[in-house]
Structure 1
Amino acid sequence: MWKDRLSALAKDRLPAEAAETWIELFQPGIRLAFSGPGPRVARLGGNPALPPEMEWPGWPDNGPLNFIAEVDCAALPREFLSIPLPAEGTLLFFYFDGERQPGYPDPALLENIEGSRVIFVPAGTAVTERTPPADLDPYPSVDLFAEVVATAPEREHLLLDQTRTASGATLAEAVQTVLGPGRSGTDVFGELRWDMEKGPFHQIGGFASPVQGPVENEVAAEVLADSWRDPGFAAEAARWVLLAQIDSCQEADMCWGDVGMLYWVIRAEDLAAGRFEAARCTMQCG
């Protein structure tokens, strides 16, 4: 079963109540691996197939976006999808990779919403393979295959402060006994995942694998005028779900900051309505 390995590790490393409560929060994620028994479900790099009339996505005043990945919705193991993706069609992910761009802009601007794009191409749409604009080299093409894995909230995710064990402690409180002298916080949950499997952590759906803090919090802070101090911050963060994450990857010559990760998140209501243009991308690195 998809949750068995992480469940066993949690029961071995965490207090019993904390382990059982955390396991109840698990969601399946579709890990995009370099090999697998089924068909190819996604691809990193290469050239995208776009409708002939569609312009190459760009960031005004900065330049064209790099093509990162495509995902074949029909090939995904739908019974394990934690998010309502279309039954057919292709998702295309673009991002402004300043390290590969002439005229590299201020890195602080790279999380601007115009610095990334998600495009959905419905099944049956006429498309042609497109080469990138001049001075924009494509990443090497790497095929990816589906592997179902257990994902869970970790590293200060709001659910760790909102979910209580049978005795009434929050999950964040319940793990203090295993952290050791001088340590605090909820990194222990992330450490379990890192101990269980190695990257790269390319993934569709499920909980994100944050390099720093919760990606939902980062995006909520960006969209709220008063940021973390806004009384609606927790509710706003809870609206966002992971659409995809793409790890730094030697095979595709991708490196995000200091060997970090890209995360595309989207509000649940926008995802349900197929408004993929509303997705936002954020990057974390060590």
Structure 2
Amino acid sequence: MNRYEQFRRAAVDRGLPEDEVDKFADQLRFAVWLGTGSPDDEVVGQSGGLPRLPVGTEWPGTGNGSPLPFVASVDCALLPRAEGLPLPEDGSLLFFLNHDDDMEAEAPLEEPDHARVVHVPAGTETEEASPPEGHATRTFFHENIPFLIPEHRLSAWVRPVLPDWLEEQDAEFASDAVKQLLDDLKHVEELLNLVDELWPDPNRGAALRLGGYCREIGGQDPPYTQMASAALSATVDPDLPRAERTRLRREEEHRLNTEWLPLAQFHTTSEFYYGCFLISTDDLAARRFDQMRSFTMFTE
């Protein structure tokens, strides 16, 4: 029995209406969280340190050849499975990000130049990469953060994740579809409580999250709003009334939120920046990691 079936069976056994249970379950996602664990936990990846790259492969960099800082890597074969999250079943995923330069990027619809996801297929001969030339003198902004950071081993667990509007029961700034859905859920408190009962919070800090929903960090527009605004700017008549343009943007945000998910989101080495790599579910299933879009968010 998978987690969705477990949730539906438990909800129906409590007498909750099946149509509401299904609508709620459609918003429920499961994410893989990774963090430092106890010595007995299985190691499934690492944050920091040096990445293992295919033999003969150069350290990933920008278009002008500037190397990108290594964030973390995970062994996909060792990760726990999360329903609805079509990660590769084997091989490794490596994440790279220059949060300073990515924060300044203004092309959310294009392949990022300051972030990269590398998939190393199973069976590929790899070696620990040598540090890029001059890495000891590379620092970020005015924070004096080194290019290389200490290695930490990561263990993994699965957590349920719900959209903020559902947990807060506030759809004031959401699309019409979301407002209608929240209005249809007459037993939302019972359904939220059931999620907490089935999957209690383990009270563990996560360094990296795969899947789920993108967190809204700081005061800037969240990633889906940025993507929706950029997509509609080329197609929507600027003379449309503001209310109509807002409605269209919210509908586009809802569509993107349905079709895209955070491949990885994480705190950077800076207390001021948070990284989020978005990818469509179809591209993730097809391992088209070059279609990832990166959004570095300022935390204040």
Is the CA contact (8 Å cut-off) linking 2:88 and 2:285 kept in structure 1? no
- Counterpart of 2:210, as a letter, is I
| TM-score, normalised by the number of residues in structure 1 | 0.68
Is the CA contact (8 Å cut-off) linking 1:81 and 1:205 kept in structure 2? no
Q: Which residue of 1 is the match for residue 31 of structure 2?
A: 29
Q: Which residue of 1 is the match for residue 283 of structure 2?
A: 270
**Residues 23, 272 of structure 1: CA spacing in aligned structure 2 closer, same or farther, 3 A cutoff?**
closer
**Residues 60, 24 of structure 1: CA spacing in aligned structure 2 closer, same or farther, 3 A cutoff?**
closer
Correspondence 1:204 to 2:182: no
Q: Distance in 1 between matches of 2:106 and 2:65?
A: 10
Instruction: Detail structure 1 runs of 4+ shifted over 4 Å in the superposition.
Output: 19-24, 155-160, 195-201, 222-225, 227-232
The Cα of 1:150 is off from its aligned counterpart by 2.0
Q: Distance in 2 between matches of 1:227 and 1:152?
A: 31
Q: Which residue of 2 is the match for residue 187 of structure 1?
A: none
Is the CA contact (8 Å cut-off) linking 1:31 and 1:202 kept in structure 2? yes
Q: Distance in 2 between matches of 1:59 and 1:152?
A: 34
Q: Distance in 2 between matches of 1:49 and 1:24?
A: 37
The Cα of 1:135 is off from its aligned counterpart by 2.8
**Residues 220, 90 of structure 1: CA spacing in aligned structure 2 closer, same or farther, 3 A cutoff?**
farther
Over residues 141-197 of structure 1, what are the superposed CA-to-partner deviations in whole Å (9 max), with x where a residue is unaligned?
A: 1111112222111166767446233378xx9xx9xxxxxxxxxxxxxxxxxxxx995
Q: Which residue of 2 is the match for residue 49 of structure 1?
A: 52
Q: Which residue of 2 is the match for residue 84 of structure 1?
A: 86
- Within 5 Å, which residues of 2 pair with 1:1-286? 25-35=27-37, 38-61=41-64, 63-78=66-81, 80-98=82-100, 107-109=103-105, 113-136=112-135, 137-154=147-164, 160-161=178-179, 163-166=181-184, 199-200=205-206, 202-212=208-218, 214-223=222-231, 225-226=233-234, 229=245, 233-234=252-253, 235-248=255-268, 254-255=269-270, 258=272, 260-284=273-297, 285-286=299-300
Q: Distance in 2 between matches of 1:205 and 1:272?
A: 13
**Residues 266, 202 of structure 1: CA spacing in aligned structure 2 closer, same or farther, 3 A cutoff?**
same
Q: Distance in 1 between matches of 2:65 and 2:56?
A: 22
Q: Distance in 2 between matches of 1:140 and 1:247?
A: 15
- Percent identity between matched residues is 29
Q: Which residue of 2 is the match for residue 7 of structure 1?
A: none
Over residues 213-271 of structure 1, what are the superposed CA-to-partner deviations in whole Å (9 max), with x where a residue is unaligned?
A: 643333344455449946672334432111111124xxxxx126x2x421111012211
Is the CA contact (8 Å cut-off) linking 2:24 and 2:185 kept in structure 1? no
Q: Distance in 2 between matches of 1:237 and 1:73?
A: 24
Q: Secondary structure at the match of 2:226?
A: helix
**Residues 147, 93 of structure 1: CA spacing in aligned structure 2 closer, same or farther, 3 A cutoff?**
same
Q: Distance in 1 between matches of 2:265 and 2:154?
A: 13
Q: CA RMSD in A?
A: 3.6
Unaligned runs of 5+ in 1: 4-18, 99-104, 175-194, 249-253
Is the CA contact (8 Å cut-off) linking 2:102 and 2:294 kept in structure 1? no
Unaligned runs of 5+ in 2: 5-19, 136-146, 166-172, 190-200, 237-244
- Counterpart of 2:73, as a letter, is E
